[in-house]
Every structure is written in structure tokens, then in C-alpha cells.
Structure 1
């Protein structure tokens, strides 16, 4: 029962408004530091800690905007001066703000320590060697493989009797597959669906891949030749007798 009991209840509106005012000004000020750190550290996301005599300040930013500013005193509980969640308690904020100036000085000292850090870095780099001749040699080899595979495709088209088809053989433990459309090679792939396309309608393979695989091309052609010879031998034994 509270009838007849009177107490004065102090309003929290004034300290809350003052707290929000301080947080807003710190958010704006520390936000400038966050943007400078984003530029300095070369990324839109990151954080950095600064040590003062009273404790450690950690500023985190995302997309160049401040996410939080946390003060972890040497004694007592940490406080998020700026946060995307709830605002700090006024007393905790007051303790942190007593050291805010030292935090800014620590940041300034950090930036100053980087002055001239790149002065002795040389930008006289060696000239990169051109890969033009390597690419030309790769293309020369691929042109020869293309000519060879087109000839195989034409021969396969002749005896398969279909407009589309494939020929596959295992060479050095890898599956080689030649796909054709009519009498033209569509692709030559080594190693299954996730393998290397020596020939395709897209870009050429890398020069190291060509160097590694070109030595097995003759074995792939021999596998094709063996199949044709075997088929020829089998068909040569077939006789068709027509009755009277």
C-alpha cells in the first residue's frame, strides 16, 4: 500500500540528454578518426587499439564508419563509449571521457610515427619480362594440336555416321576426350570434367599446362589409331553371303 506515502522521484531526463549529447559529439569526432584509419590501413573494415596511461581504447570501423569505441580501464569494467547497441551509463561514460583526450593524443602519435616511413623505399623496380614470345609458342603448339584434332574429328565423322560424337582414351593415367561437331573438333579435354581443356571455344590453357601435356598427344593419337585399326580388322572378317 502506497496511500499517504509521498516521495520525490528525480527525473533521469537531464543526465540522459547530456549523456546522449556527449555520445553524439564523440561519435562524430571518433568517426573522423575511423575514416582516417580506414584510409591509412587501406581497407573499409578493421580496428586498432591505442594504449594510454589509464587503459586501452579500441576503435572498430566498417565501411569507413565507426562501429564502436571501447575503453578498457586498467581497473574497473570496460565501457562502450560509442556502440551500435545501447548507450553507456552516464558514470561509466564520465570515467572514460576523462581519458578521451589521451586517446586522441595516442592516435595522433601513431600517425606521426608513420611520417617518412616510406621515404627510403625505392620505386625503381625491374622491368617485367614480356610473355609475348611464350604465348606465341603456346599458340603455335595449340594450332598444331587443333589441326591434328580436326583431322581426327573428320575421320571419326566419316566412320561414326553421326554429326556429334566423342573419342576418349586413357593416357598416362588421365582421361583424354575429344569432342567433335561434324568434322571439326569442339574440345580436347584432359582429366575429366574438372580437367584441362587443351582445345576449347574459350581461352587457351596456360603455357605450363601445354608444356606438361603436349608430350602425351602422340600417345592419344596412337590410341585413336589403334581403335581404328582394330575396327578395320574386325570388319574385314565380316562376310555377307547372298543366296541364289
Structure 2
């Protein structure tokens, strides 16, 4: 029994070391394929599957590097040749590596399938119409509306105080003018989700200006009626 216990135990260190070396080399090589796929697909992450006579290989990449390389043989269990976990067992790795060259060949064939993809593609495009004239006319109209809104704001400031809002309904839609001092903060049509004809931001879209500009006069007329009513009320006040 003592002699049996003293028998030499065979070590697997050399096998494990060789396995780790192969796995590291595959990770480096597959990483190059991952980067090429990322360039081809135009994204930071994705995956592709390549078929061979012995099975299929799926390479998943992220940020231009391989996340995993999985070999799924036609018979037997799948093997993660490259993964974020520990390296595969030596025997499954050896089985997969016997088909690795076929995987690379399948990848190369995949890339070659794109040869000539852009042959005959024209980069001569139709001329683009300028919006400069339209935008300039829009801005001219909006500036005119702002001038009118500021004039109204000045009158409201003089009568109603430092700031406030004046609202009226025009063509069934709420128009609201907010003033701050003697200038208009905004002129909004259609409630909180409506169109700001006047605001501290950029002008509204040209179609919106065209849709609403004809009603500006009606809004001003409503304001004038409001002022006339105020004057009529004040005319009845007596200090005697």
C-alpha cells in the first residue's frame, strides 16, 4: 500500500499551459476579425455567424473587440473558444481548433461577397433648393409681429403693471400675450403646446407663420376692444 501511494502522479500543467496559450492566440486573432466586422457594420457592437462543414461559429463583438467566439458543432456540445469566463476544456478546444481555419475562410468569403457592392453607385446628387429667401420672408413677418406684440406689451405694462398676460380667442383658438416690462415675453397660439409666434427662442416654422399670420390682425383688434372697454370704465370714475 505504501509503495502504491508513493507512485508518481502525472501532472496536467503542460496541457493547461498549452491550452491557455492557444486560447490567448485565438482571442488576439479573433479580435482582429471583430474589429473588421465593426468597421464593416458601422457599429460598436453586433454579432455574425459563419457556417462551416463541421458546424457554425458565432462571433460577438463590442467596442471593436471580441466578446465571445462560440463554436457549435453539428454533433456535440457548443464550445466558447473565447469568452469573458475561464478558457474551455482542452479537448473541446482542440476539437474547435481543428475547424478554426474553416471559420476564418468562411469569414474571408463573407467579406469577399461585398466586392463590387458600390460599383455603379452614383455620387452625383440633385441640387438642393435654398430656403434662404423663404426664411428671410418668415423672419420679416415675425419681426413685424414682434413689433406689434411689444407695442401691446407697452400698453399693458402702463395699465396693468410690471408683468402679466393678456388672452383672447381668435377663430376658436386661444391667443396669449405675456409681457415683462414694456416688451413681449411671448405670443403663443393654441395653449401650452401651441405655436410661439414670438418668444425668446428662434422663430416658428414658416408654414406655422403662414397659417397664423392672417389672424394677427384679429388678435390686435380684440386687444383694441379690450383697451376701449378699459377707457369706457375709467370714464365713469369721478373724484367728486
- What's the TM-score once normalised by structure 1's chain length? 0.87
The aligned counterpart of 1:218 is 217
Q: Any residues of structure 2 matched to 1:116-131 within 5 Å, and which?
A: 116-131=116-131
Aligned mates of 1:217, 1:21 — CA distance in 2: 79
The aligned counterpart of 1:91 is 91
Aligned mates of 2:10, 2:84 — CA distance in 1: 28
Aligned mates of 2:56, 2:219 — CA distance in 1: 68
CA spacing shift, 1:164–1:21, aligned 2, 3 Å: same
- Residue 31 of structure 1: SS of its match in structure 2? helix
- Is 1:177 matched with 2:176? yes
Q: Any residues of structure 2 matched to 1:1-244 within 5 Å, and which?
A: 6=5, 9-160=9-160, 162-172=161-171, 174-240=173-239, 242=240
Aligned mates of 1:55, 1:209 — CA distance in 2: 60
CA spacing shift, 1:213–1:22, aligned 2, 3 Å: farther
CA spacing shift, 1:232–1:12, aligned 2, 3 Å: farther
Consecutive unaligned residues of structure 1, counting only runs of 5 or more, are none
CA spacing shift, 1:24–1:218, aligned 2, 3 Å: same
CA spacing shift, 1:89–1:150, aligned 2, 3 Å: same
Report the CA distance between 1:157 and its aligned residue: 1.2
Consecutive unaligned residues of structure 2, counting only runs of 5 or more, are none
RMSD between superposed Cα atoms in Å: 2.4
Report the CA distance between 1:108 and its aligned residue: 0.6
Report the CA distance between 1:109 and its aligned residue: 0.7
Report the CA distance between 1:190 and its aligned residue: 3.0
Report the CA distance between 1:8 and its aligned residue: 5.6
Report the CA distance between 1:227 and its aligned residue: 2.9
Number of aligned residues: 239
Aligned mates of 2:192, 2:124 — CA distance in 1: 45
